[in-house]
Amino acid sequence: MAKTRRAKEPKAIDGPAILRAFHVKRSVGALAGARSAWKNIAEHPLTLAFEKGQLGRGDPRYTPEMRLEAGNRYRELCEKLVVTGVDSTNLDRIIGGRSQVSVSQSRIDSIRTLAAIDKHLNKRDRKIIRHVCGDGWWPSEAVREACGHGHYDRGSVPRFVEALDALIEAMSQST
């Protein structure tokens, strides 16, 4: 006679797999199935800079939340450029000698929006914003790359905030 196996009760998850200094607890609603959850504040350099309070300096017309929102909007536009909309697991597709590349309407819209925004940014600001928000570089690396390695050794965060202020202005001008 065969034994029947009973499924083991899953243990309650009390934290992320590896708890790091940049994991913080956040409250979530009852619909999520728990009262609180863990949040990785270092999932992107822009988010980490916001959580550390580094986006507070700069033009007093703009708040850190406005800078974060502008950076995340630019990040979303850059991420839409990467998505092709083609299922990579589709093995039925056969590409012949001349492949036709189809571009989705959302990619076209993202390209146009980014071009309109970039047109209103100077070269250095555009490079800093593209590296941090689009490519996920650390602000210090992006500022040194855009402005030269001898400049902004200690003042890279204020220069990054200055570029975010220029991004907010460019986004308002491009609409």
Domain contains 50? yes
Domain contains 145? yes
- The pLDDT value recorded for residue 14 is 63
Average pLDDT taken over every residue of the chain: 80
Domain contains 91? no
Strands 36-40 and 23-27, by their bridges, are: antiparallel
The span from the first CA to the last CA of the chain, in angstroms, equals: 73
Count of domains forming the chain? 1
Structure tokens at 89: 């697991």
Domain contains 30? no
Domain contains 19? no
Alpha carbon distance 129, 142 (integer Å): 8
pTM above 0.85, yes or no: no
Q: Which one is predicted more confidently, 63 or 27?
A: 63
Q: Highest mean pLDDT: which of 56-60, 80-84, 124-128, 145-149?
A: 124-128
Chain segment 78-105, per-residue pLDDT in tens: 988 876 656 555 555 545 555 555 667 8
Domain contains 150? yes
Domain around 78? 44-83+103-174
Count of other CB atoms within 10 angstroms of residue 153: 10
Alpha carbon distance 160, 142 (integer Å): 8
Domain contains 52? yes
Domain contains 16? no
